[in-house]
Amino acid sequence: MECLIQHYGLFVVMLMILAGALPSGFSQTTRRFQFNVEWKNVTRLCSTKPLLTVNGEYPGPTIAVHEGDNVEIKVTNHIADNTTIHWHGIRQLRTGWADGPAYITQCPIRGGKSYTYKFTVQYQRGTLWWHAHYAWQRASVYGAFIIHPRMPFPFSAPIQDEFPIIFGEWWNGDVDEVENEMMKYGGGPNSSDAYTINGLPGPFYPCSNKDTFIKTVERGKTYLLRIINAALNDELFFAVVNHTLTVVEIDAVYTKPFTATAIMVAPGQTTNVLLTANQVPDSSGTFLMAAWPYLTSIFPFDNSTTAGFLRYKNTVTENIKHLQKMPSTFEPNKYNLPKMEDTKFVTKFSDKLRSLASPQYPCTVPKTIDKRVVTVVSLNLQDCPANKTCKGYEGKRFFASMNNLSFVRPSMSILESYYNKLRNNEYSTDFPEKPLKPFDYTGVDTVSENMNTQFGTKILEVPYGTNLEIVLQGTSFLNVENHPIHIHGHNFFIVGRGFGNFNVAKDPAKYNLIDPPERNTVAVPTGGWAAIRFKADNPGVWFIHCHLEEHTSWGLASGLIVQNGPRASQCVLPPPKDLPSC
C-alpha cells in the first residue's frame, strides 16, 4: 500500500512537470515501433525453409533511440506458438514487466495477441540488442538496439559511418526440432550448419557467394563497428585482414581504448570497435572480415567460418573474387584470427578491458559488499529414468545447474507471483548462497563422481540497495567450458577472474576495484571463476542464466529478487493493463 500511495504522489509530480511547474530530467520523446512476429520463407546454403522473423526481416529491424527516450514497442504474435521479446542489456529501471523472459517477468504472448513493451532508456548509451526469449526462437528473432548518446563520444577519432555486425547461426533443419530432440533424449544438440554475419553466411559455405555481407569504405576514413554476438551456442573470434581494431565500448559501456588484431565476443555480449581504412587493397579492392568459434567444449560444434568483405571505394575494380570454399589447410593467422583453442589470447584480451573511470563516466563499483554468493555453474549428467531412452554420455541425460540446482520454469511469471504476493509454490527464495558440498571443482574426476542434479525454482532475494558479490565458479564436469552468464536488470563489474578454484582467503585481495570492466554478460573463464559486483538497486525479479541456449534449456539458470526500497522511485511500477496472462 505504501508504494501505491507513493506512486500516486509521483503521478502528481509528473503532472506538475508536464504543466511546466517543475524542471524535468525526463525525456519528452517517445519512440514507437511495431514488431510482427511471423514466418517467412528464407533461403541459405541452397536450403529454403520457413524462418521465424520480425516484420519479415532476418535479422530483425534495428531499434535506434536516443539516451533518455521513452520507448514503446508493440509486439503482435502472428504465429501459433507463444513468443516474447527481451531487450538485452536494457536495465528496465522499475519496468521489469517489459524485460521479456518467459515465465520470469511475463507470461508469453499467445498466437494472435499483442503486447506493448514500454520502458525508458535511462543512464545508458551504446550498442545493445534484442531477441526472442522463448524456447530457441532467438535463433532467428534478433536485432540491434542502438542508443545514441546525448553527449559526444569520449574518443576523438572522427567517425565517417557506423554499422552493426551481428553474428548468428543458421540451421538447415528446424531449430525447434533440434531443441525438442535434445530435451527428449538428453543428448547434445545438433550443431548449426553455418555462422552468419547480418544473416549472411559468406563465401566459405555452399551456394553463399551471393549471401555475403559487403561494406564499402573510403580510404583514410574511420568507422564504428557495432559488433553483437547473437549466436545460440558459440563464443566467436572476429578479425579483419590487415586491419587493427580499437575497442572503445563493451555491452553499451565505454572502455579505455586499446588496439587488437582480433576480438572475442561471447553470446549476449556486444563490442564497439573503431576501424580505420588505412590499407592498400589488391586488385579486388577488398579485405576479408571473418568470425569463427572459440572452442572450449567437447560437444559437437560448428567447425566453420563466416566471412564478409570491406570493399574500398574507387578501387580499380569492384568485382569481388569470392573464395569458393574453405582452404584445405586453413591458416587463421592469415586472417588475423586466433586459433580456436586459444584461451591465452582470450585471457589477454579480457585483461585489457577496463572501465573508462573518468569524471564524466565514473566507475561505480562497490568497494565493500553486504553479501557474497558463491555459485558453481556446471554441466551435469543425470541417471537415465527407468524405461526411458537417454542419448547423453554413457547412456545418461545432460543437464546443467547452478549450485547443483537445475532451474525449472514455473507455470506463471515469477514477477506476477511476487508482485501480487501469491503463495502458490511457484518458486522459493532459498537459493543456496554457497555450494552445499564443496569439492575440487576444476580438478574432479568426471567418470567417478556423481553428477546428478536437483530440480526446482529456487532464487535469491535481497533488500533494495544491497552491495552484492557473486562468484561464478566453473567446473570440470564433462569439460571445462567457458560460460557466458547474463544478469537481467543490472550491469555489473567484473572485479576478478582466475583459473582453478576461487580462494576466498586470497583472491579478493587481487580484485580490481579501480576500473574493472562493466558488463551485462560475463564470460566465466574455461576451468576457472569470475567475481562480479553490483548494487542491487533495481526492484523486481531478474533472470540469471547462461547465454549458451543449450545450457539454459538444461537448467543453468536462476533468478534474483530485489525488494522494493522505501521511496516511490525505488518500487516496481504496477503491471500494464495488456500484460499477457498464462
Supply the range of the domain harboring residue 68: 25-151
Would the pLDDT of 201 be above 80? Answer: yes
DSSP 81-116: S-B-EEEET---TT-GGGS--BTTTBPPBPTT-EEE
Mean pLDDT value across the chain = 91
Question: Would residue 68 count as lying in a domain?
Answer: yes
- Whether residue 202 sits in one domain with residue 347: yes
pLDDT for 9 equals: 44
CA of residue 145 relative to chain centroid, distance:
12
* One-letter identity of residue 31: R
Supply the DSSP symbol for 303.
Answer: -
Q: Are 247 and 273 in contact (CB under 8 A)?
A: yes
Q: Which helix (H) or strand (E) holds 480?
A: none
pLDDT for 512 equals: 98
pLDDT for 20 equals: 38
Confidence of residue 157 (pLDDT cuts 50, 70, 90): confident
Question: Would residue 34 count as lying in a domain?
Answer: yes
Q: Which residues pair with 54 in a beta bridge?
A: 37, 57
- Whether residue 195 sits in one domain with residue 129: no
Q: Which helix (H) or strand (E) holds 456?
A: strand 454-456
- Whether residue 447 sits in one domain with residue 315: no
Question: Would residue 20 count as lying in a domain?
Answer: no
CA of residue 442 relative to chain centroid, distance:
25
Give the integer Cα–Cα distance in Å for 542 and 374: 18
- Whether residue 334 sits in one domain with residue 425: no
Supply the DSSP symbol for 339.
Answer: P
- Whether residue 318 sits in one domain with residue 215: yes
- Whether residue 540 sits in one domain with residue 552: yes
Confidence of residue 477 (pLDDT cuts 50, 70, 90): confident
Greatest mean pLDDT among 92-106, 309-323, 473-487 lies in 92-106
pLDDT digits (tens, 9 = 90+) for 424-439: 788 999 999 999 888 8
pLDDT for 321 equals: 52
pLDDT for 427 equals: 95
pLDDT for 320 equals: 53
What 3-state class would DSSP assign to 153?
A: coil
- Whether residue 384 sits in one domain with residue 283: no
Residue at a domain's end among 151, 170, 198: 151
- Whether residue 240 sits in one domain with residue 144: no
Instruction: List the strands of the sheet with 194-197, edge to edge.
Output: 194-197, 161-170, 222-229, 270-276, 245-250, 253-260
Question: Would residue 548 count as lying in a domain?
Answer: yes
- Whether residue 253 sits in one domain with residue 187: yes
- Whether residue 117 sits in one domain with residue 246: no
pLDDT digits (tens, 9 = 90+) for 225-244: 999 999 999 999 999 999 99
Which CATH number characterizes residue 112's domain? 2.60.40.420
What 3-state class would DSSP assign to 15?
A: helix
- Whether residue 254 sits in one domain with residue 178: yes
Question: Would residue 581 count as lying in a domain?
Answer: no
**Grid cell listed for 184:** 527428449
| Total number of domains in the chain | 3
Neighbours of 45 (CB within 10 A): 16
- Whether residue 472 sits in one domain with residue 350: no
Question: Would residue 19 count as lying in a domain?
Answer: no
Question: Would residue 246 count as lying in a domain?
Answer: yes
Q: List the single range of 79-83, 95-99, 330-334, 407-411 with lowest mean pLDDT.
A: 330-334
Question: Would residue 18 count as lying in a domain?
Answer: no
Neighbours of 444 (CB within 10 A): 15
Residue at a domain's end among 91, 122, 151: 151
Would the pLDDT of 516 be above 80? Answer: yes
pTM: 0.94
pLDDT digits (tens, 9 = 90+) for 30-69: 999 999 999 999 999 999 999 999 999 999 999 999 999 9
Supply the DSSP symbol for 489.
Answer: T
